[in-house]
Amino acid sequence: MRFLHTSDWHLGRSLHRVGLLDAQAAFLDHLIDTARSEAVDAVLVAGDVYDRAVPPLAAVELFDDALHRLAALGVPTVMISGNHDSPRRLGVGAGLIGRAGIHLRTDPAACGTPVLLSDRHGDIAVYGLPYLEPTLVRDEFGVAGAGHAAVIGAAMDRVRADLAGRPKGTRAVTLAHAFVTGGQGSDSERDITVGGAAAVPVATFDGAHYAALGHLHGCQTLTDRVRYSGSPLAFSFSEAAHRKSTWLVDLDGAGAVRAERVDCPVPRPLARVRGRLDTLLTDPALAPHESAWVEATLTDPARPDEPMARLADRFPHILSLVFEPDRPPSAPATYARRLSDRTDQQIAEDFVAHVRGGQGPDPRERAALRAALDAARPREE
């Protein structure tokens, strides 16, 4: 059986206030085309369909359209809720939608109840483990621990118990949304450590012939049978080097896995550039980034005038500016020593030089400081 494994669509999300809905629509077009052209037997969506619990209407409409198109293809789809989704909202109408072949798994109590698929080799039981917040579900699973490993381990115990009661040779696929040991995160995932210890051992998924993971935004292979698809789009500049893709997974009759990556469409590349402003504006090696979304880190000792506007002349799609000046280390001195025998004007000018890496005020700035200090002094009668 052939699966298309994807996750972390985050419909409705933006990148530094740039809307990504058109790019997300292009990805979903790509997903439908891939399911058709690669003769996919089922689509697996491992959580974070939306970017927030109450998504914008345009994101809901986009999701609705994708479901209709998948159903029209006759390709069964199994999807779980992630930590960004509202399980109740995402799961509304799950029973009715399931009749169209779209199986929403958002209820923790149903972890041990699979979607049954079949091919010429027999049955494949697909188990959906939605995001399990430990403090909310530990009573359901009867665990004392407060960590993700405990609740996901208990959910997988239900999976293995159900599988043990099925005909010999039944293959198992599990969807889960979690931080699994060995995975590499990025800046755009929401921290899930609040609910307890975050990391889940890879061995937790023993018994599954394939574990389709969501939550981390980089495509990763933890073992041949345990993989993250990653997000289809970059949601932070920490993902600038990511190759965004989905997994095309073939599961044979013996349960062996073969997987290959299918690249996702890139609306615009991301680039991180670093250096002094004059270098960034003139370095010919940076020419390939002129059409990219850019994060620029300036290392000038003193903050240049209007750096964002000047950079935008060369990089019209610049989104982020970071200031990390390269400054020589200064000798330590006590506060009293630094201020001894210094006038107010000198102290103010020294402060300007300190925050600008040694570059003191120019004559116009000195005059402005003097006027401000004069205005702040009590008037003498």
Same domain? For 108 and 139 the reply is yes
pLDDT digits (tens, 9 = 90+) for 282-300: 999 999 999 999 999 999 9
What span, in angstroms and rounded, lies between the C-alpha atoms of 169 and 345?
A: 84
User: Does the CA dihedral 13-15-17-19 come out positive or negative?
Assistant: negative
Same domain? For 80 and 195 the reply is yes
DSSP readout, 174-204? EEEESEETT----TTSPP-GGGS--EE-GGG
196 — pLDDT class (breaks 50, 70, 90): very low
In total, the chain counts a number of residues equal to: 381
- pLDDT at residue 148 tops 80: yes
Question: Considering the domain boundaries, does residue 240 fall inside one?
Answer: yes
Question: Considering the domain boundaries, does residue 329 fall inside one?
Answer: no
Same domain? For 134 and 240 the reply is yes
What span, in angstroms and rounded, lies between the C-alpha atoms of 245 and 193?
A: 27
194 — pLDDT class (breaks 50, 70, 90): very low
What span, in angstroms and rounded, lies between the C-alpha atoms of 226 and 212?
A: 7
Helix (H) / strand (E) containing 18: strand 18-19
What is the total count of domains within the chain? Answer: 3
Q: What is the mean pLDDT of residues 153-170?
A: 97
> What is the average pLDDT value for the chain, to the nearest integer?
92
Question: Of all residues in the chain, what percent carry a pLDDT higher than 90?
Answer: 79
State the pLDDT at residue 334. Answer: 58
Burial 337-350 (b: 16+ CB within 10 A, else e): eeeeeeeeeeebbe
Same domain? For 153 and 255 the reply is yes
Residue in 175, 179, 184 with CA at minimum distance from that of residue 149: 179
What single letter denotes the amino acid at residue 40? V
Question: Of all residues in the chain, what percent carry a pLDDT higher than 70?
Answer: 94
249 — pLDDT class (breaks 50, 70, 90): very high
Q: Are 57 and 19 in contact (CB under 8 A)?
A: no
Q: What is the mean pLDDT of residues 357-370?
A: 84
Q: Are 91 and 59 in contact (CB under 8 A)?
A: no
Tokens of 100: 């169209």
Cβ-proximal residues to 273 (8 Å cutoff; 6+ apart), any chain: 280, 286, 289, 294, 295, 296, 297, 315
pTM for this model (two decimals) = 0.84
Same domain? For 119 and 250 the reply is yes
What span, in angstroms and rounded, lies between the C-alpha atoms of 230 and 247?
A: 9
- pLDDT at residue 335 tops 60: no
337 — pLDDT class (breaks 50, 70, 90): low
Q: Are 108 and 148 in contact (CB under 8 A)?
A: no
381 — pLDDT class (breaks 50, 70, 90): very low
Q: What is the mean pLDDT of residues 98-115?
A: 96
Question: Considering the domain boundaries, does residue 89 fall inside one?
Answer: yes
State the pLDDT at residue 119. Answer: 96
Locus of tokens 């109590």: 109
Same domain? For 216 and 292 the reply is no
Same domain? For 248 and 99 the reply is yes
Residue 216's domain comprises: 2-263
Q: What is the CATH number of the domain that holds 46?
A: 3.60.21.10
Q: Say if residue 353 is exposed, middle or buried (CB neighbours under 10 Å; 0-12, 13-18, 19+).
A: middle
- pLDDT at residue 84 tops 90: yes
Secondary structure (3-state) at 373 = helix
What span, in angstroms and rounded, lies between the C-alpha atoms of 369 and 262?
A: 60
Same domain? For 113 and 250 the reply is yes
Same domain? For 78 and 20 the reply is yes
State the pLDDT at residue 126. Answer: 98
Q: Which of 227, 247, 263 is the last residue of a domain?
A: 263
140 — pLDDT class (breaks 50, 70, 90): very high
Q: What is the mean pLDDT of residues 160-166?
A: 97
Q: What is the mean pLDDT of residues 95-124?
A: 96
What span, in angstroms and rounded, lies between the C-alpha atoms of 305 and 303?
A: 7
Same domain? For 246 and 315 the reply is no
Q: What is the mean pLDDT of residues 9-28?
A: 97
Q: What is the mean pLDDT of residues 100-104?
A: 96
State the pLDDT at residue 195. Answer: 44
State the pLDDT at residue 355. Answer: 76
Question: Which residue has better confidence, 189 or 162?
Answer: 162
Burial 110-147 (b: 16+ CB within 10 A, else e): bbbebbebeeeeeebbbbbbbbbbbeebbeebebeeeb
Same domain? For 170 and 117 the reply is yes
**How many Å is the maximal CA-CA distance in the chain?**
101
State the pLDDT at residue 357. Answer: 67
Same domain? For 223 and 98 the reply is yes
State the pLDDT at residue 354. Answer: 75
What span, in angstroms and rounded, lies between the C-alpha atoms of 366 and 203?
A: 66
Partners of 124 in beta bridges: 117, 171
Question: Which residue has better confidence, 288 or 145?
Answer: 288
